[in-house]
Amino acid sequence: MLGLAAALLSYLLGSFPTAYVFGKHFRGIDISKNGSGNIGAMNAYDVTGSKAIGITVGSIDVAKGFAATVIPHIYLGSMAGLVSALFVVTGHNYSSFMKFKGGRGLASAAGALLVLQPLCLPVYLGVYYFLRTAGFKLYLSSVAGIISASVPLFWGTHGSAASIFLSAALMIVVLSKHIAPLKNEMVNVN
């Protein structure tokens, strides 16, 4: 019962549309109708032109992922932490407050992964920055980073079928929001 409550609370916390609230409150802009329409830190920065808003939104979204995962992970175990991570990222990507629109889940997943398997973050960042420096496009680099980060996450599950399933589901939820921009990026290659 506690695990179900943690999952529900994680989803609701993830659903809080940080970027939308900051765009509306500080700039009077509905970011869901501007820029990419994505309700995340990057679009908040792109649409408002404010680094402060972009960084603040990204930081709050990381904190949402961390907060939703750390308490269940500590008090209910690693499986509850994984379930909560999956639900907070799902809430961020498919917000009940925004008619199931949302962000791409990178920031909230990063916060959750700080709890579950901190090695995922340097792997993601290393692959992402290496590819970007080598001239690869943004979303291709990001997708390669996400896939690479799944390796330490799966490794950290110690072979439990349920843990591997939940880890794969978490990565799929994050990747699901990168497919359309990746396709657009590949079509628009000059």
Number of residues written out for the chain:
190
pLDDT in tens, 11-63: 999 999 999 999 999 999 999 999 999 999 999 999 999 999 999 999 999 99
Angle between helices 120-133 and 138-155 (to 10 degrees): 150
Separation between Cα atoms, residue 125 and residue 28, nearest integer Å: 33
With b for 16 or more beta-carbon neighbours within 10 A and e for fewer, the 30-60 pattern comes to ebbeebbebbbbbbbbebbebeebbebbbeb
Cβ atoms of 148 and 120 within 8 Å: the answer is: no
pTM: 0.93
pLDDT in tens, 49-106: 999 999 999 999 999 999 999 999 999 998 999 999 999 999 999 999 999 999 999 9
Separation between Cα atoms, residue 175 and residue 190, nearest integer Å: 24
Separation between Cα atoms, residue 61 and residue 110, nearest integer Å: 9
C-alpha radius of gyration, the chain, whole number: 16
